[in-house]
Amino acid sequence: MWHGIHGHDSVVQRFSQGLASGRLGSCYLFLGPAGIGKHTFALKLAQALLCQNASGSSLDPCGSCEACQLMASTNHPDLDLIGLPAGKNRLPVELFIGDRDHRHQEGLCHNISLRPRLGSHRVAIVDDADCLTVESSNSLLKTLEEPPRGAILILIGTSRSRQLPTILSRIQIVPFNPLPVEAVASLLIEQQIVSDPTRAHELAQHSHGSLSRALEFADPELGALRDQLHSQLQPTAFDSVRLASELIAQVNQAGKEANVRRQRLRAIFHMSGDLFRSVLRASSGVSDDHNKPQGKTLQAWIRQGESVQGHVLAALDRCLEAEQQLDRNANQATLLECWLDDLAEIFSPMQDAESRV
């Protein structure tokens, strides 16, 4: 465990070797599921690079120098943090090159080109890189192609498919793996989210290695929603109209703000996708302790035999597509209804087969 960061020792080794050999890159894309520590890792890496007492080949910040103290409050003059503005689902170009009255005089691309104030590096971290627009991505190209001396740019995203080819071709990709169950359970205890080790382990088993997923399951409302989905997303007892009505009510109950409702709908797609992944593993004879569906649900799927895998893959693909459509700001009620209608069509051959038995 590197400075309190669980589960990413291989990434630490990669950066340690790059720093020791003098071959540290300038532009990185951290990719992996949400809630596994990519942002925390990026901040600690920035602290190590900006620390005034660390040796040039060490990733161990002292924690006591002026730079480390400023990093503790994320107020270091050589650090830029970019993320989604409140209520937005896209990273606006103004964050990178300034507004129309201050083009190329403000924003990340301008700031990272300046000489460092306290050391030899400037670091910029862009959260939510999945939400870059074409215009925002294009504004980064010059910085990616000709990074300023001593500059380190880190983008943080969840998958390659959500990044534009122009970004992928100009950046080093650093994959982050889901956390082990034990690491998620430890984090739940350390962050005082739960106090009972047994409960922490139970949540961690359902988390798919993600602390944010574990938090979802800790929420009683979302836990009940997951059980509802598992009980109704069955191939031979699927009622898309009834389920649409119930899920729309669940989304509306999340709150009045569009972003809060969007997060609830995203959770629905996540949980459904998790179910289909677990069915795929079970139908292939692979154990899945992370997200074991309810027994009746799993039996209903497995009873379909080997042919179930094609249908489950199609259902999983549709869940992933629905998430992408949600990111593109599709109408939430229409998106939910279309998603369920498409699942009904995917399940239809299995329902027909069951009726003939």
203 located within any domain: no
The single-letter code of the amino acid at 286 is V
- Residue 288: which pLDDT band, with cuts at 50, 70 and 90? low
242 located within any domain: yes
- Residue 352: which pLDDT band, with cuts at 50, 70 and 90? low
80-to-116, 186, 330 alpha-carbon distances in Å: 12, 30, 31
Residue 176's closest CA among 25, 48, 26, 9? Answer: 9
- Stretch 195-211: mean pLDDT, rounded? 90
pLDDT of residue 354: 52
Structurally, the chain folds into a number of domains equal to: 2
C-alpha span between 277 and 208 (Å, rounded): 11
pLDDT, tens only, 80-98: 999 999 878 889 999 999 9
188 located within any domain: no
- Stretch 65-80: mean pLDDT, rounded? 94
Q: pTM here?
A: 0.82
Q: Are residues 86 and 225 in the same domain?
A: no
**Rounded percentage of the chain residues whose pLDDT exceeds 90:** 59
Which residues touch 58 (CB under 8 Å, ≥6 apart)?
19, 48
Q: Are residues 27 and 159 in the same domain?
A: yes
C-alpha span between 71 and 63 (Å, rounded): 9
Mean per-residue pLDDT over the chain, rounded? 88
Q: Are residues 32 and 157 in the same domain?
A: yes
| 270 contacts 213 by C-beta, under 8 angstroms | yes
Q: Are residues 25 and 152 in the same domain?
A: yes
Which residues touch 355 (CB under 8 Å, ≥6 apart)?
none
Tell me the residue range of the domain where 130 lies.
Answer: 9-175
**Rounded percentage of the chain residues whose pLDDT exceeds 70:** 91
pLDDT of residue 283: 74
CATH of the domain at 41: 3.40.50.300
| 78 contacts 70 by C-beta, under 8 angstroms | no
Residue 357 has pLDDT above 50, yes or no: no
Residue 33's closest CA among 168, 153, 175? Answer: 175
CA dihedral 89, 94, 95, 96 (to 10 degrees): 120
pLDDT, tens only, 110-161: 999 999 999 889 999 999 999 999 999 999 999 999 999 999 999 999 989 8
- Stretch 248-263: mean pLDDT, rounded? 88
